[in-house]
Amino acid sequence: MSRSDVLVDADWVEAHGGDPGVVLVEVDEDTSAYDKGHIRNAVKIDWKADLQDPVRRDFVDKAGFEALLSERGISNDDTVVLYGGNNNWFAAYAYWYFRLYGHQSVKLLDGGRKKWELESRELVTDVPQRPRTSYHAQEQDKAIRAFRDEVVAAIGQRNLVDVRSPDEFAGRLLAPAHLPQEQAQRGGHIPTAKNIPWSKAAEEDGTFKSDDALRTLYGGAGVDFGKDTIAYCRIGERSAHTWFVLHELLGQPNVKNYDGSWTEYGSLVGVPIEIGDGK
C-alpha cells in the first residue's frame, strides 16, 4: 500500500470523476453541505443516517451496507473516491468503513472538500442518477476494528493513540470544541496512551503531510512502529483518519480503530483512567 494507491488529487478528480467505474462519494460532517453544492457526479452518503444502526450503538450490518451501496449505484468493481470537509475527517471514517466491509478499490481525495472549495473549483447541485446495483459485502474485517476488552488488555502492551485534542486528552473538554460539552461520562484518557491529535497529520489545507513528516510526528510522540496499534477518539471518526494515516499511508501492519472510543471507555465501570496532560 502506498500513497498513490489510496489518494488522488483534485486534478485527477476533475479529469476522471465521470469515468465509468469511478464513483465520487461525499461524506461530510456537515450533512447538508452536499445539498448546497458538491463535486460533479458525486453521490452522498450520510455518515449518521446511512452508516449507523438506527437503534443500537453500532454500524449498519452487512445487509444494510449492501442495501446502501446497491441503492447508491455502487458496484463491487467500482473505484470509490471519497471526500468531505474538515480534512476528510468523515470521509476517512467512511473509507475505514468501506475497508471494514471489504471494498477493494477505495481512495480519498487529498485535501477533501476544503481544499477544493478554497481553490474555488466547480461545485454543482445536480444529483447524478446511478442505476441500482447488487452489491455484495464481505464479513466485517475485525483486524481493523478494536473492541473494549481488547483495548483494556492493550494498556501498556500496544501503542494506544489518543487522537483527540490536548484539552480532551487531559479531561478539560469532553467533546470537540464545536460541540456542546455535556456528556454522562468521566474525562481523561486511557493510561499509557499517547496524545497525537488527528489534525496534526494534515496540513492546513487538509492534505496529508509527507510520509517522512508523519513518521517523525508519530515516532517522536512515542509510537513504537514495531508494535501493534489501537487508535481512538470520542466516537471513532477522528481515529479512523489516524488509522488511515498509520495503516494506509505508512503501511503499519496491525492498526485498529476503536470506534467505541471515549464515549464508551469513559463510561465503563472500573477501568483505569488517567487525567492531565500528556507526558
Residues annotated as catalytic are 233
Give the Cα separation of 45 and 24 in Å (integer).
Answer: 10
3-state DSSP assignment of residue 151 = helix
Place of cell 465501570: 269
Query: Least distance (Å) from other proteins to the CB of residue 88?
Result: 12
Binding region for other proteins (CB under 8 A) out of 149-157, 218-226, 233-241, 244-252: 233-241
Which of 232, 260, 245, 263 shows the shortest CA–CA distance to 158?
A: 232
Helix (H) or strand (E) holding 217, with range, is helix 211-220
If the CB atoms of residues 175 and 268 are measured against other proteins, the closer one turns out to be 175
Closest CA to 198 of 218, 228, 173, 224: 218
Alpha-helical runs (H) found in 47-139: 62-71, 85-100, 112-118
Q: Which residues pair with 25 in a beta bridge?
A: 43, 82
Quick one: CA dihedral 184, 45, 142, 8, positive or negative? negative
What mask of x and - would describe binding to other proteins in positions 34 to 73, judged by CB under 8 A?
Answer: --x----------xx---x---------------------
- What is the phi-psi region of residue 219: left when phi exceeds 0, alpha when psi lies from -120 to 50, beta otherwise? alpha
Q: Contact with other proteins (CB under 8 A): which of 189, 238, 247, 256?
A: 238
In the complex, least distance from residue 142 CB atom to other proteins, rounded to whole angstroms: 21
Residues 150-189: x/- map of binding to other proteins (CB under 8 A)? ---------------xxx----xx-xxxxxxxx-------
Q: What Rg do the C-alpha atoms of the chain give, in angstroms?
A: 18
At closest approach, how far in Å is the CB of 199 from other proteins?
Answer: 4
Could you tell me how many residues of this chain bind other proteins (CB under 8 A)? Answer: 44
Least separation in angstroms between residue 36's CB and other proteins is: 6
Give the cell for residue 261.
472510543
Q: Nearest approach, Cβ of 31 to other proteins (angstroms)?
A: 7
Cα gap 31→89, rounded to integer Å: 13
CB of 4 to other proteins, least distance (A): 27
Nearest 5°: the CA angle 215, 219, 223 is: 120
Of 190-219, binders to other proteins (CB under 8 A) are 197, 199-200, 204
Nearer to other proteins, 117 or 274 (CB): 117
Contact code string over 77-106 relative to other proteins, x by CB under 8 A? --------xxx-xx--x-------------
Q: Does 33 bind other proteins (CB under 8 A)?
A: yes
Which stretches of the chain bind other proteins, using CB under 8 A? 29-33, 36, 47-48, 52, 85-87, 89-90, 93, 114, 117-120, 165-167, 172-173, 175-182, 197, 199-200, 204, 233-238, 261
